[in-house]
Amino acid sequence: MIKMLPDSEKYNLKNQMSRAKLSITNNIAEGFGRYHYQENIQFCRQSRGSICELIDDFNECFDEGYIDNDLLDMYKQEGYSLIKVLNSYIASQKKQKKIIQDSK
């Protein structure tokens, strides 16, 4: 998707979307590497925010005429699916955190 954008967006939308895309996986990895439930949850929430940023950027791409409605719908659907997966993971981390706390 990012490669489809015109060169005029190199330092604007392309750059923003690249950073948001990388932020999603980087935050998940960093949270997992903390070995602490609450920190993991917080980094996952930041990843979720980056997904929302990308969804907003997809809307901007549509508004600017860089993508058509079908592509917009597909990318947004993928983004919402990722949010659902991440929300499930966050819920499981909260549950595990509670189990650990209750066993003390």
**What CATH number is given to the structural domain containing 38?**
1.20.1440.60
The Cα 79–Cα 52 span in angstroms is 8
pTM: 0.91
For the CA atoms of the chain, what is the radius of gyration? 17
pLDDT tens digits for range 51-69: 999 999 999 999 999 999 9
The 3-state DSSP class for residue 64 equals coil
Q: Which residues does 44 contact at the CB level (< 8 Å), separation at least 6?
A: 27, 28, 31, 86, 89, 90, 93
Cα 40 to Cα 32, 74, 97, distances in angstroms: 5, 29, 11
pLDDT tens digits for range 6-26: 888 877 999 999 999 999 999
Domain count for the chain, please give it.
1
- Domain around 51: 9-98
- Residue 104 resides in a domain: no
The Cα 50–Cα 44 span in angstroms is 10
